[in-house]
Structure 1
Amino acid sequence: MKILVCIDDTDNLESRGTGDLATELAEEIEKRGWGSSQFVTRHQLLVHPDVPYTSHNSSMCFEADIDPDYLQPLIDYASEYLKRESAPGSDPGLCVAVVDRLTDTGAVMAFGRKAKEEVLNKGMAYDLAAELDVHLSEHGGTGQGVVGALAGIGLRMSGKDGRMKGWLKISTDNGLARVGDILMQSSLRGVRTMDGKELGHEETIAVDEKPKAVMIDGGPYLMVSPVDDGDGVRWRTTPRQQLKRF
């Protein structure tokens, strides 16, 4: 059974980030033999004075494939985990959606897009969650994190929003790697330019330190930008600061 799990607003300026907690939840699913988990993605939401957040207002989401018998144990564990591990002063929210049970995927994706542009409230989130039959719960503070948790589900489901948590580990030869070799040593679906062109396997990329992947067309891609004077190398991994639109 395919599920999406998203958490939001679990940290403060001194604590571990929400991404670390999401990663631990994903790992716990596999440790307990409940199923398998995919990578965690970070989804940027609206930064606004009326929206409480720690530093960037982003939610963290991952996909998992679990035995249906473990759905409720997973929800129970995640709920207790957030109560225990979320930082003082945070407003943690949890959302767990069974993908095949969603009655209106368009509605949850629209909610995610709105959360990037408008100030939304808990009532809106709970109303939609009840309508869609997804689990949505708060675990401390004001519980405002339920808005971002539900929004993150919609954004991950859209397949065209978010950056993978962490950095890609790519083996290179003096900082260079062929696209084909990059794909063989990673879970990437491809390498694309910032204007959408997918590069062939024989193209050579200058790989900068700590490259990141983004979600496009339902999967993770490495983004590259032109090199002005690359001594024969045409492409370089796109710096993190230029990936903010994803």
Structure 2
Amino acid sequence: MKSWLICIDDTDDIATKGTGEIAEEIANLLAQAHLKTKANSDRCWVTRHQLFVHPDIPYTSHNSAMCFRIETHLSVETIKQICVTHLLSESAAAADPGLAILDMTSMYDINALIAFGQSAKVAVKTKQQAYELAAELGIDLTEHGGTGQGVIGALAGLGLRLSGQDGRVKGQLDLGNYAAGVAAELSVADILSMSSLQAVLSDNGDILAIDERVLLSGKVKAVYRQHMFALLVSQHESGWVNASKQTLKAY
């Protein structure tokens, strides 16, 4: 089997299905095709990558790309067909969808791809720049409606995911009996055992010991940092709390 990294951008419009939801649906469709079944219970982590917000860049609300990784025996042709069919079916009429597919076993310049992604967080990039880099690195980059501006974010999202230091996981963590809005204190060991997370990290990057305790409140979200899916926490008085909405904005 091969490992693939897939990213989409600019598929939605106000009051339509979000790009993150479409990415999850594509990931599930690919998993179903791989397993030849109509049901798939495995969690595929879709990460949201924030890009540059600027008047010269059209976006719906936040200008973010959505990326996921999948391991499959499916050919690139089949993978692309499934992705494109769903994009054409589910993208908003006013959207400018872009799709990037990377064979992670190929010989590509990871540093160049990461640099493009990081640059797209702070500067306006062009479709020409995206297509030139994709051609140079052997990445399948295509547009599927509108202006096709989404190819920029799709390529950038690949680089940001590969950096291992960027991305907020779509959705809210399911941590057993914890319910959003009702504060609860859990140990790091409990948090890891009740989720698929790999670590609990402080906002300065330290890995918390398994006996540390975290006070959870509000929506609990994971991030992708240090090449791990992790719960991000902040120091509050004498203990730890899950990162605030403001802190997570950087992801």
CA offset digits 1:132-173 (Å, max 9, x no partner): 111100000000000000000000011110100001111357
Unaligned runs of 5+ in 2: 37-41
SS in 1 for 2:231: strand
Q: State the alpha-carbon separation in 2 of the partners of residues 218 and 195 from structure 1.
A: 15
Cα deviation, residue 28, structure 1: 0.7
Q: 2:39 corresponds to which residue?
A: none
Q: 1:212 aligns with which of 193, 214, 221?
A: 221
Structure-2 separation of matches of 1:34 and 1:92: 27
SS at match of 2:96: coil
The amino acid of 2:122's aligned partner reads E
Match of 1:130 among 127, 135, 141: 135
2:25 corresponding residue in structure 1: 24
TM (normalized to structure 2)? 0.92
Superposition deviation, residue 227 in structure 1: 2.3
After TM superposition, give the deviation of residue 209 of structure 1 in Å.
2.4
Q: Deviations over 1:32-71 (max 9, x none)?
A: 225977300000000000011001000000000011x432
Mapped partners of 1:70, 1:37: distance in 2 = 22
SS at match of 2:142: strand
- Aligned residue for 2:159, secondary structure, equals helix
Quote how far apart the aligned CAs of 1:213 are. 0.8
Q: Show the counterpart of 1:188.
A: 197
TM-score by length of 1: 0.93
Question: Residue 43 of structure 1: SS of its match in structure 2?
Answer: strand
- Residue in 2 aligned with 1:58? 64
1:93 and 2:98 aligned: yes
The CA deviation at 1:76 is 1.2
1:81 Cα deviation after fit: 1.3
* Distance (whole Å) between structure 1 residues aligned to residue 43 and residue 186 of structure 2: 28
CA deviation vs aligned residue, 1:179-225 (integer Å, no higher than 9, x gap):
00110111111111112221111111111122111111111111111
- SS of the residue corresponding to residue 224 of structure 1 reads strand
Q: SS in structure 1 opposite 2:46?
A: strand
Q: How many pairs align?
A: 241
The root-mean-square deviation of aligned C-alpha atoms, in Å, is: 1.6
Residue 83 of structure 2 is aligned to residue 73 of structure 1: no
Q: Which runs of 5+ in 1 are unaligned?
A: none
Counterpart among 50, 54, 58 of residue 48 in structure 1: 54
SS at match of 1:15: coil
